[in-house]
Amino acid sequence: MGSHRRLVPSGFDRGAAAALGVLSAAAAALGTVPAVAAPHDDTRSRVDRLYEEAEKATEAYNKADERADVLRGQVGDAQDRIARQQERLNSMREQLGSLAGAQYRSGGLDPTLALLFSDDPDDYLAKAAAIDRISSHQAGELKDLQDVMRQLAQERAEATKKLGELEKSRKAVASHKRTVEKKLAEARQLLNSLPDDERAGYDRSSRSGRDDLPDLGGALPTSGRAAAAVAAARSALGRPYVWGANGPSGFDCSGLMQWSYAQAGVALPRTSQAQRYAGRQVPLSQAQPGDLVTYRSDASHVGMYAGNGQVIHAPYPGAPVRYDPVGMMPGATVTRV
C-alpha cells in the first residue's frame, strides 16, 4: 500500500549508482506531481493520504489479529491445564474419602476404652499404630489436595484474565478493520471521481509482471534463505493486493514478506513494524537482494530489496505485487534477515 508517488532514492547496492537516472525517470513515469498542479492533483493527493492511513490501520489490524491468535492458544492451553487439574482433584478426593471411611471403621471407638475391652493388648496396639499411620497419610493427602485446589483457582483466574484480553483484542481487530474499510471506501470514491485517463494513470504500475522485469544488476543475496525468499517474492509478481492477507493468492505489504520468507523456512513476524527488527540493520547503500526495506518513520510499509535500486512489494489496493524504485517513499531502513 502507500503513495504511488516516488521520491528520490537514497541508496543502492553495489553497481546501482548508475541507476540514478533510471530511477528518476521511473519516478516521473509513475505520476510525480508536476510543478504546476493539475485540477485533479488534490484528489490524487487525498487518495494517497487515505491509502497511507489505511495501510497504518492494516498493520494495526495485523498486530491485533496476531495477538488474538496468541491469546486463543494461551486460553486453550489454560483450559487443558484446568481440565487436568480438575481430574487430579477429583481423584484425590476419592482417595481421601476411602481413607476417611477406613479411619472411621477402625477408630470409631475411643482408643482408651478399646484397650480396656481388648482381649489382646498387642493386637490393639498394632491396630492403633495402623490408625496413626492412616491419619498421618491423610494429613499429607489433605495438604496435597489444598495445593491442587490453589493451583486450580490460580489457573482459572489466569484463564479468565486471558479471556478478557482476548475479547479486547477481538474488539481491536474489529475496530481496525472498520477503519481500513472506511479509508479504502473513501479512496475508491475519490478515484472514481477522476476522469478515466487520470484514474488509469494513477493505477498504472511501474512493472507489474514477469514479462517486464527490470535490470536487477549482478548483486547476489547474502544467504541461501535470502535467495529463496527473493525467488518466492518474484513468483508472487502480479498477484493482487489484499489487505490483511499473507498469501498465497493475495498479500498486503507485510504479508508478502512473511510469506516469502516462510517459503525459505524463516518465520517472520506479521507486521512491518516488527519485521523492521527481525534482523540486523544495514545502511541502504549496502542493501542486498532479500533485505527488507521498511518505509516511513513508523515503518508502516515494507518491501524486499531485489537489486539495482529495485524492491518487490505489495503497493496498495488495485495495484498488484510489483517492482518499484527503492526510493519510492521516505524513511527507508534496511533489515538483513
Mean pLDDT is lowest, of 168-177, 298-307, 322-331, for 168-177
Would the pLDDT of 3 be above 90? no
Q: What is the mean pLDDT of the chain?
A: 77
CA-closest candidate to residue 53, choices 248, 240, 316 = 316
Model confidence at 256: pLDDT above 60: yes
- Count Cβ atoms below 10 Å from residue 168 Cβ, excluding itself: 14
Residues 6 or more apart from 216 whose CB is under 8 A from it? 289, 306, 307, 308, 310
For residue 325, which amino acid is it? P
Q: Which of 156, 175, 177 is nearest to 167 (CA)?
A: 175
Quote the CA–CA distance of 304 and 87 in Å, as a whole number. Answer: 51
Contact 2, 319 (CB under 8 A): no
Q: Centre a 10 Å sphere on the Cβ of residue 222 and count the other Cβ atoms it contains.
A: 16
pLDDT tens string 9-48: 334 444 443 333 333 333 333 333 343 444 467 887 888 8
Distances (CA, A) of 300 to 171, 179, 259, 276: 21, 15, 17, 10
For the segment 92-105, the average pLDDT, to the nearest whole number, is 60
How confident is the model at residue 180, as a pLDDT?
A: 86
- Of 212, 267, 245, give the one whose Cα is nearest residue 314: 245
Q: Which residues are the active-site residues? A: 253, 301, 313
Tell me the CATH number of domain 35-203, given options 1.10.1400, 1.10.760, 1.10.287, 1.10.3470. 1.10.287
The model's pLDDT over 102-113, given as tens digits with 9 standing for 90+, comes to: 555 555 544 544
Of 92-101, 118-127, 144-153, give the lowest mean pLDDT range.
118-127
- The answer to whether 284 touches 206, Cβ cutoff 8 Å, is no
The rounded percent of the chain whose pLDDT value lies above 70 is 69
Nine cell digits for residue 321: 505485487
- Residue of 145 and 193 predicted with greater confidence: 193
pLDDT at 138 over 60: no
311: enclosing H helix or E strand: strand 310-313
Q: Judge whether residue 222 has pLDDT over 70.
A: yes
Q: Residue 86's pLDDT band (boundaries 50, 70, 90)?
A: confident
Looking at the chain, the whole-number percentage of residues with pLDDT higher than 90 is 31
The closest alpha carbon to 254, from 318, 213, 299, belongs to 299
Amino acid 3 reads: S
Of 254, 219, 256, 223, the residue nearest 237 (C-alpha): 256
Q: Is the pLDDT at 254 greater than 80, yes or no?
A: yes
Domain limits, the chain: 1-30+209-337, 35-203
* 156 CB-contact burial (10 Å; exposed 0-12 / middle 13-18 / buried 19+): middle
The pLDDT of 174-189, averaged and rounded, is 87
Which range of 46-60, 122-136, 146-160 scores highest in mean pLDDT? It is: 46-60
Helix or strand run (H / E) with residue 255: helix 253-262
Q: How confident is the model at residue 78 (pLDDT cuts 50, 70, 90)?
A: confident
- Judged against a pLDDT cut of 80, whether residue 58 lies above it is answered with yes
Rounded average pLDDT over 143-167:
81
316/51 Cα distance (integer angstroms): 7
Poorest-confidence range of 44-58, 79-93, 277-291, 301-315? 79-93
The more confidently predicted of residues 97 and 160 is 160
Q: Does domain 1-30+209-337 have CATH number 3.90.1720.10?
A: yes
The dihedral region occupied by 171, where left means phi > 0, alpha psi between -120 and 50, and beta the remainder, is alpha
Query: Quick one: pLDDT at residue 141?
Result: 64
Q: What is the pLDDT of residues 193-219, one digit of tens each?
A: 888 877 777 765 444 444 556 777 778
| Residue 84 clears pLDDT 90, i.e. is over it | no
Element holding 324 (H helix, E strand): strand 322-325
Here the cell at position 324 is 518499484
